[in-house]
Amino acid sequence: MTSIDRRKFLTAGTASLGALGFVGAMPAWARGTLDGTLARRGSDVLSGDYQTMTVADAMFTTGTRRGPGVTVNGTIPGPLLRLKEGQNLVVDLVNDSSMGTSIHWHGLLVPFLMDGVPGVTMAAVEPGERFRYEFPIRQAGTYWWHAHTLQEPMGHYGPIIIDPAGEEAHSYDRDYVVMLSDWSPMHPHTIMKKLKVADAPFNFQKTTATDNYPLSGAERRMWARMRMMPTDISDVSAPLFTYLLNGHGPEDGLEFAFRPGERVRLRFINGAAMSFFNVRIPGLAMTVIAADGQDVRPVEVDEFQIGNAETYDVIVEPGAGDAFTIVAEAMDRSGMGLAMLTSRPGLRAQVPPLRDPPLLTMADMGMSQGGAGSMTGMDHGEASAGGAMDMGSMSMRDTSLLPPNVKVGPGIDMVAMNPVDRMGDPGTGLKDVGHRVLTYKQLVAARMNPDMRQPTRLKEIHLTGNMERYMWSFDGKKFSAVTDDPIRFAFNERVRVKLVNDTMMAHPIHLHGHFFELVNGAPGMHQPRKHTVIVQPGGSAQFDLTANEPGDWAFHCHLIYHMHTGMFQVVTVRPLDGGEG
Amino acid sequence: MKRAILFSLPLLALSAPGWAEQHDHATAAQVEPADPAATTTAAQQEVMDHSAMEHGEMEHGKMDMPVDQEPMAHSQMDHGSVPMPRQEAPMDASKMDHASMVDQSPIPAGPPPPEAFSAPAFAADEFVGADKMAASRASVVREVSGVPVYWFQADRAEYRAREGKDGYLWDVQGYYGGDIDKFWFKSEGEGNFGEKPESAEVQALWSHAIAPRWDIQAGVRQDLTGPERTHAVIGVQGLAPYLFELDAAAFVSNKGDITARIEGELDQRITQRLILQPRAELSLSAQDIPELGIGAGLDRAELGLRLRYEFVREFAPYIGVEQEWKVGKSADYARAAGEDPSVTNYVVGIRLWF
Ligand SMILES: [Cu+2]
């Protein structure tokens, strides 16, 4: 009976996908000619020194959507690795899927050969092959793992929790992982192609003659004159994506249980391919205690924005409340992921409506006169109305502002005129929500940083792109142009890296194999350590890096289609034996 | 072009909230009562019961990094957290006062130290094997930076109702290639039902990106009707300020005739799916070409307005009206051939791409 049902299911899935015209782009297994088993939602827990992780093709369903997915050990997300600082880990990766694969241990300090990036640290593990990862666990905190291939948006990711060798800094009664992700029934190759050939094909929140956006006619004409859209917030959004919490869509009724009076630790991981989320639990304050796995001084907020690949650990105290809604609203507010924090199974709190979609501002065009302005009391970021006409006469692409190493060409459609530090910015659309929203400036490392030397060198890197052609790059150069000309650091060199965002999109930039310290105004010894930093549109961000992990490391935007269309670089740390010398 | 701008303005002003197309709130709807299985799944994720932990037993000395006890009030943090804007542009000094608390000694930009250049070029080569890594690297480079893309678009494929015999028109284009260089093809033609096509042509072009939103295109055009003609083509295509899609090309025929064409379109969204598209096209000629019925100067002008509904972005039926005029000598040629130099077409068609 089960097998009959499954065949029926596969047939139905194929028919609906065929009607949408995806058949040509889908591999044979996804059309039901091979055994594509249905992915289970949610993770199993793996702990101990030795694990096997098996990648397989699958069908995934959520709500009314179904399409191709990739499972690891049968689930989406894949297994939760529950580890202990100081242990050794051996993972045999078995590829039973139809594509090349790999696992990258996001945020973990590993020898570079174990980092799992095809073309940089290993060759892809081809179908039928195995690969053994083996490394010591040198840290504690919340991390995750994912494929460094286009299997990632299909479901190949999962959480990692590492318990400290010593004392946990906070006490709590329950410990939950909340892994946010986005899943679409459309194959990643098809999505990427549509992004290339069409102009924002997945955006159904564009300005129109009948919209409710607070924009004057003059502002609308200014945007049209610049050939840009104030609604260019997310390249791929809810019309295509279902937003998942631990693999569960909004209709699944995912619940996290608590008893009155308990302290609950929630470990938010943004494992999405293309989505930033605004996370809040209406009626409940969240105390942020860790960012990217690293403990920070507790800071109480009502909402935070989490970029792709970032993690935030928070503690909430639901008290005697019945139920609270965990809302992960996509940054462009086209949809949300949902779960319930409940004191009794089945209890439901109100689900807030989607808020109005945000608009980009002058600051997002790199035209901010005073930064995010929160310290000065002048909110220049919101000044889109007042500034519109003055800015209309300015060049959006004055390439003389770029340093000489940036390759100028059709791949750059904008140059930030005045890219100011935007670490005080809560993120697109969150400036005036009327409650406390986390900013990078509020992050202060709980412990002293291991290296407090003043950097000896400043390395500036520009994030560049062309929305229209969907080209993305660092310093105007795509990945093909940089494999022979990487970003070079000397072993143990202390460098300040300044990222300048010459685009109107926020990019979550991730450096493999290292933590870096955000230059966010915190005292040097307490600058927060992160593995991923959001660089706000038209703004800049700086971090201090001690390049003490020899080898080659991927450095890229964590929006997967930005990475896969060129915003990808290699960082080398030499000499290779630097660690031993 | 000016006219099209003016035309679009009343639409922009029409921002009445009443029938605005809202984004879909359905996903935010109240979820159904719990599926007990889902609760179980969530419960499985509760991985640790910290109430059972014995905190007293933990030893600070065993931790890698001492927990820093240095007291620090959060009120102080707020001042310390002023950014160190290292911006080049001048900035109001009064806004910078707080920042003086932070070490601002400049860090010099410069090249990496010499040891950063020490071999090997690719660290994984000696462990994984140079051949294997070279192949892997090549495939990632191809995937990330070099996969060619194809695109086909029927901008107009329509039935044209008009005085006399009804007709048809197609206007399609597409490309295959990378970000900068592409093979581009175009075809357009029209005619009356039951007659042989009035005009039909194909163009094969090499397209090269010369600016963020502009391509230069060069190649050949073959006419498929009328007297045999082949043309060399040079043109530009791209997106002009105010989001006009422009396509301008000059043609030199194998008979030495020089002609030119300029087309402009503007997508004016009324809702997320309902789009009004004004369109203009001008044909020019450097000389009279009597056998083609073309007169020197402005030969032909077309002005159209189409309203389409995008069921999906890729597929949109439309209705519209298009007025075409033959001008000057061309009008004379048309009258001589017994045709009306001014024709109004009521059109229905589809726009699609894939
Ligand atoms: Cu990006």
Task: Check CB contact of A45 with chain B, cutoff 8 Å.
Answer: yes
Shortest Cα–Cα distance, B87 to chain A (Å): 6
Overall average pLDDT of the B60-87 stretch? 37
CA of A563 to the centre of ligand 1 (A): 7
A56's CB contacts (< 8 A; 6+ apart) are A37, A70, A71, A72, A74, A96, A97
Task: Check CB contact of B65 with chain A, cutoff 8 Å.
Answer: yes
Q: Alpha-carbon dihedral of residues A375, A376, A381, A383, nearest 10 degrees?
A: 160
Name residues 155-194 of chain B within 8 A of A (Cβ). Answer: 179-180
Overall average pLDDT of the B62-78 stretch? 37
Beta-carbon separation of A123 and B243 below 8 A: no
Is the pLDDT at A560 greater than 50? The verdict is: yes
CA of A562 to the centre of ligand 1 (A): 5
Specify the pLDDT at position A484.
82
Give me the residue from A251, A257, A334 closest to B42, CB to CB. A257
Shortest Cα–Cα distance, B3 to chain A (Å): 15
Pair of tokens at residue B175: 């490309």
C-beta separation of A340 from A315 below 8 A: no
Q: How far apart are CA A15 and CA B23, in angstroms?
A: 27
CA angle B158, B337, B293 (to 5 degrees): 75
Name residues 545-574 of chain A within 8 A of B (Cβ). Answer: 550-552, 563-566, 568, 572-574
CA atoms within 13 A on the CB side of B289: 19
Specify the pLDDT at position B153.
96
Say whether A581 sits in a helix, a strand or coil: coil
Position of tokens 């077309």? B302
Is the pLDDT at B11 greater than 80? The verdict is: no
Is the pLDDT at A189 greater than 90? The verdict is: yes
Pair of tokens at residue A249: 């869509």
Overall average pLDDT of the A196-210 stretch? 92
CA of A487 to the centre of ligand 1 (A): 18
Specify the pLDDT at position B272.
95
Specify the pLDDT at position A251.
93
Overall average pLDDT of the A150-157 stretch? 96
Beta-carbon separation of A254 and B42 below 8 A: yes
Name residues 141-200 of chain A within 8 A of B (Cβ). Answer: 161, 163-169, 171-177, 193-194, 196-198
Q: How far apart are CA B46 and CA A379, in angstroms?
A: 42
Q: How far apart are CA A572 and CA A555, in angstroms?
A: 10
3-class SS letters over A174-211:
EEEEEEEEEECCCCHHHHHHHHHHCCCCCCCCCCCCCC
Pair of tokens at residue B338: 């017994």
Buried residues in B223-248 as b, exposed as e (16+ CB within 10 A): beeeeebebebebbbbbeebbbbbbb
All residues of chain B having their beta carbon less than 8 Å from the beta carbon of residue A496 are 107
Q: How far is CA A297 from the centre of its chain?
A: 23
H/E segment holding residue A457: strand A457-466
Is the pLDDT at A136 greater than 50? The verdict is: yes
Specify the pLDDT at position A394.
65
Q: Tens of pLDDT along A523-550?
A: 989 999 999 999 999 999 999 999 999 9
Task: Check CB contact of B148 with chain A, cutoff 8 Å.
Answer: no
Shortest Cα–Cα distance, B262 to chain A (Å): 20
All residues of chain B having their beta carbon less than 8 Å from the beta carbon of residue A479 are 140-141, 144-145
Shortest Cα–Cα distance, A481 to chain B (Å): 9
Q: Can you give the pTM of this predicted structure?
A: 0.84
Give me the residue from A201, A480, A490 closest to B112, CB to CB. A490
Q: Tens of pLDDT along A208-223?
A: 999 999 999 998 998 8
Higher pLDDT, A393 or A307: A307
All residues of chain B having their beta carbon less than 8 Å from the beta carbon of residue A491 are 115
Say whether A363 sits in a helix, a strand or coil: helix
Say whether A32 sits in a helix, a strand or coil: coil
DSSP, res B95? G
> Which one of A160, A211, A233, A468 makes the best mutation probe of the B interface by having the most chain B beta carbons within 10 Å?
A211
Specify the pLDDT at position A69.
95
Nearest alpha-carbon partner for A120 in A464, A512, A490, A504: A512
Q: How far apart are CA A506 and CA A557, in angstroms?
A: 10
Lowest mean pLDDT among A18-32, A167-181, A508-522, B161-175: A18-32
Sheet hosting strand A529-530, strand order edge to edge: A471-474, A457-466, A493-501, A540-547, A516-518, A529-530
A12's CB contacts (< 8 A; 6+ apart) are none
| Backbone angles phi and psi of A307, in degrees to 5 | -80, 165
Name residues 113-132 of chain A within 8 A of B (Cβ). Answer: 113, 118-124
Task: Check CB contact of B49 with chain A, cutoff 8 Å.
Answer: yes
Task: Check CB contact of A23 with chain B, cutoff 8 Å.
Answer: no
Give me the residue from B47, B141, B271 closest to A45, CB to CB. B47
Give me the residue from B43, B45, B55 closest to A171, CB to CB. B55
Q: Tens of pLDDT along A259-271?
A: 999 999 999 999 9
C-beta separation of A515 from A541 below 8 A: no
Specify the pLDDT at position A479.
85
All residues of chain B having their beta carbon less than 8 Å from the beta carbon of residue A420 are 83, 85, 87
Lowest mean pLDDT among A209-213, B13-17, B54-58, B182-186: B13-17
Higher pLDDT, A132 or A13: A132
CA angle A301, A515, B46 (to 5 degrees): 55
- Report CA-CA distances (Å) from B29 to A335, A350, A353, A410: 11, 9, 7, 43
CA-nearest residue to B5 within chain A is A221
**What percent of chain B is predicted at pLDDT more than 90?**
60
Beta-carbon separation of A413 and B117 below 8 A: no
Q: How far is CA A274 from the centre of its chain?
A: 7
Give me the residue from B25, B45, B115 closest to A176, CB to CB. B45
Lowest mean pLDDT among A551-555, B91-95, B175-179, B221-225: B91-95
What is chain A's mean pLDDT, rounded?
A: 88
Total residue length of chain B: 354
Residue A368 — very low, low, confident or very high, per pLDDT cuts 50/70/90?
low
Residue A363 — very low, low, confident or very high, per pLDDT cuts 50/70/90?
confident
Query: How many helices (H) and strands (E) in chain B?
Result: 6, 13
Q: Tens of pLDDT along A404-463?
A: 899 999 999 899 988 999 999 999 999 999 999 999 999 999 999 999 899 999 999 999
Beta-carbon separation of A118 and B136 below 8 A: yes
Residue A393 — very low, low, confident or very high, per pLDDT cuts 50/70/90?
low
CA-nearest residue to A471 within chain B is B179
Specify the pLDDT at position B104.
59
Q: Tens of pLDDT along A304-317?
A: 999 999 999 999 99
Total residue length of chain A: 581
Specify the pLDDT at position A579.
52
Q: Tens of pLDDT along A62-91?
A: 999 999 999 999 999 999 999 999 999 999
Q: Tens of pLDDT along A91-107?
A: 999 999 999 999 999 99
CA of A540 to the centre of ligand 1 (A): 14
Overall average pLDDT of the A140-153 stretch? 97
Beta-carbon separation of A208 and B271 below 8 A: yes
A350's CB contacts (< 8 A; 6+ apart) are A282, A325, B30
Is the pLDDT at A392 greater than 80? The verdict is: no
**Which residues have their alpha-adjacent CB atom under 5 A from ion ligand 1?**
A 507, 557, 559, 562
C-beta separation of A422 from A363 below 8 A: yes
Residue A350 — very low, low, confident or very high, per pLDDT cuts 50/70/90?
very high
> What's chain B's Rg over C-alpha atoms?
33
- Report CA-CA distances (Å) from A421 to A232, A234, A499: 21, 22, 10
Say whether A388 sits in a helix, a strand or coil: helix
Is the pLDDT at A288 greater than 70? The verdict is: yes
Say whether A541 sits in a helix, a strand or coil: strand
Residue B190 — very low, low, confident or very high, per pLDDT cuts 50/70/90?
very high
Q: How far apart are CA A313 and CA A292, in angstroms?
A: 8
Beta-carbon separation of B68 and A448 below 8 A: yes
**What percent of chain A is predicted at pLDDT more than 70?**
88
Is the pLDDT at A152 greater than 80? The verdict is: yes
Overall average pLDDT of the B100-115 stretch? 76
Q: Tens of pLDDT along B216-233?
A: 999 999 999 988 899 999
Beta-carbon separation of A122 and B25 below 8 A: no
Residue ranges of alpha helices (H) inside A438-559 are 479-482
Higher pLDDT, A362 or B17: A362
Position of tokens 């095809």? A118
C-alpha torsion sign, points A209, A213, A215, A216: positive
Q: How far apart are CA A400 and CA A258, in angstroms?
A: 58
Tell whether domain B149-353 is in CATH 2.40.160.40: yes
Buried residues in A522-532 as b, exposed as e (16+ CB within 10 A): bbbebbbbbbb
C-alpha torsion sign, points A384, A388, A393, A396: positive
CA of A37 to the centre of ligand 1 (A): 33
What is the amino acid identity at position B171?
D
